[in-house]
Amino acid sequence: MYVGGLPGKVMNFRFIKEGEKVATFNEFNLSEGILKALSLMGFEEATPIQELAIPAALAGKDFIGQAHTGTGKTAAFGIPLVQRLQADSKEIQALVVTPTRELAVQVAEELNKIGQFMGIHTLPVYGGQDIGRQIKALAKKPQIIVGTPGRLLDHLRRRTIRLDVLQTVVLDEADEMLNMGFIEDIEAILQLTPPERQTLLFSATMPPPIQKLAQRFMKTPQLISIRAKEVTVPNTEQFHLVVEERQKFDVLCRLLDSQSPELAIVFGRTKRRVDELSEALSKRGYAAEGIHGDMTQARRDAAMRRFKEGVVDILVATDVAARGLDIGNVTHVYNFDIPQDPESYVHRIGRTGRAGKSGIAVTFVTPREIGHLRVIERGTKHKTMKMAIPTMKEALEGQQRQAVDKLIKTMETEDTTYYQSLAAELLSEYEPTLLLASALKLLTKEPDTTPVKLTEEAPLVAKRNFSSSRRSAYNQRRFGRSRRSKR
């Protein structure tokens, strides 16, 4: 450990390297109820950020957790919250602030799982949901509130949320809240909390406004950071392919046919792109749905439920709508439109390769966007591998393999007794190879060439300095934005 610092504040920096031994949850002296919940959730060993953050939070210290998506941040603050809070108190003892409603719901779900045997209840509050309904839910006296900045301020001004006995505030994805223009709302919320509270801040990056926020509202915070060789997900193979804008959709279909993903997320840059892509994929026979900020919460929740259950196996999403999604079985991520910057790239590909599983990420790059790809590679310290565009033959072969797998799995796992006499009868009448070939053709989804037209998106041209562009976007949001809590 060594000492660094922010102006006027001393910060203790603690790093853990890749491959170091991490603790089991039994080593944290946690309550039996929490250990039981973690066991049911499938948690065995703590992730690096959890190994360092949990003891610090249990000791009541302020800290900044610097780690990227998919590293187990929610449990890193959620476990200490549930351990330290009083179940017999019906006051709000902890507050978690998140940039989006999707993340608020996700965090609340995980905290409720951690606290299920401890009598600790968590309620999410966010824009887009009827505030009267939230007020009724608040009457049930949850100990933890998770919410978006705008809706939290609404409740605080109505005094339907009171923070008189608040013990801990968690700012989750603080850099994203900064990028979305929420910094003033966060400051207003923190000013309404007791000064003796514990403050935990999680942020993938540490831009100057986040450092100033820590300096103003935190007490001698530690910085807990993960030292890794790369900032991107190590279990995810990363590829790019160069393709003209007008050819993108056909290439995507060939990839889906040849790679046969179990669950895939396709990222589009705009809401219009998401609508057109999801409709086009459905037209060609894929089970696809889209989510973006203009959809009602009910529609987004329904789409997410179908995706998690495997009813829909392709989710098309914008960056904002997909932030905070935690779906463990996503095998492929397709960046149909190249991300705006390295941070967005890391966020997107972090949707796969989670919890030790392998994943594949493919980024579509138009010829004019090659320079932009190089900026992303420099920012992530990872060079993506170039992939050849799949041929129609490869797409068909991929679907044939999937048909064979289905057939063999049915043979190995299903009771086919009722069909065996019919099979024997068919085999006595027809040549076996021809009969099996016909069955495979029936099972195979052959490549569909139904005409589809998408509105072209302008290419992203590399900027010399991403930080200046993000500052410009932040200033534009700060001085001329409408309330963003409903995105």
Query: Could you read off the pLDDT of 230-247 as tens digits, one per residue?
Result: 455 678 899 999 999 999
Question: What was the pLDDT predicted at 55?
Answer: 94
For residues 462-470, average pLDDT? 42
Q: Per-residue pLDDT tens for 304-319? A: 889 988 899 999 998 7
- The model's confidence at residue 49, banded by pLDDT at 50, 70 and 90, is confident
Domain with residue 261: its CATH number is: 3.40.50.300
Q: Do 241 and 218 reside in the same domain of the chain? A: no
Q: Per-residue pLDDT tens for 151-169? A: 999 999 999 999 999 999 9
The 3-class secondary structure across the chain, one letter per residue, is CEEEEECCEEEEEEEEECCCCCCEHHHHCCCHHHHHHHHHCCCCECCHHHHHHHHHHHCCCCEEEECCCCCCHHHHHHHHHHHHCCCCCCCCCEEEECCCHHHHHHHHHHHHHHCCCCCCCEEEECCCCCHHHHHHHHCCCCCEEEECHHHHHHHHHHCCCCCCCCCEEEECCHHHHHHCCCHHHHHHHHHCCCCCCEEEEECCCCCHHHHHHHHHHCCCCEEEEEECCCCCCCCEEEEEEECCHHHHHHHHHHHHHHHCCCCEEEECCCHHHHHHHHHHHHHCCCCEEEECCCCCHHHHHHHHHHHHCCCCCEEEECHHHHCCCCCCCCCEEEECCCCCCHHHHHHHHCCCCCCCCCEEEEEEECHHHHHHHHHHHHHHCCCCEECCCCCHHHHHHHHHHHHHHHHHHHHHHCCCHHHHHHHHHHHHHCCHHHHHHHHHHHHCCCCCCCCCCCCCCCCCCCCCCHHHHHHHHHHHHHHHCCCCCCC
Q: Do 197 and 290 reside in the same domain of the chain? A: no
Q: Do 196 and 264 reside in the same domain of the chain? A: no
- The model's confidence at residue 477, banded by pLDDT at 50, 70 and 90, is very low
In a domain, 415, yes or no: no
Question: What was the pLDDT predicted at 13?
Answer: 39
Q: Do 222 and 135 reside in the same domain of the chain? A: yes
Domain count, the chain: 2
Question: What was the pLDDT predicted at 24?
Answer: 80
Q: Do 318 and 355 reside in the same domain of the chain? A: yes
Question: What was the pLDDT predicted at 6?
Answer: 45
In a domain, 405, yes or no: no
User: Range of 141's domain?
Assistant: 2-227
Q: Do 39 and 170 reside in the same domain of the chain? A: yes
Residue 470 has pLDDT above 70, yes or no: no
Q: Do 216 and 244 reside in the same domain of the chain? A: no
- The model's confidence at residue 322, banded by pLDDT at 50, 70 and 90, is low
In a domain, 54, yes or no: yes
Domain boundary among 199, 227, 255: 227
Q: Per-residue pLDDT tens for 372-418? A: 899 888 878 889 999 999 888 887 787 778 778 778 888 888 888 88
Question: What was the pLDDT predicted at 324?
Answer: 59
In a domain, 475, yes or no: no
Q: Do 165 and 18 reside in the same domain of the chain? A: yes
Share of the chain above pLDDT 90, in %: 49
Arithmetic mean of pLDDT over the chain: 84
Q: Do 220 and 244 reside in the same domain of the chain? A: no
For residues 428-449, average pLDDT? 80
Q: Do 219 and 240 reside in the same domain of the chain? A: no
For residues 461-471, average pLDDT? 44
Domain boundary among 227, 261, 296: 227
- The model's confidence at residue 68, banded by pLDDT at 50, 70 and 90, is low
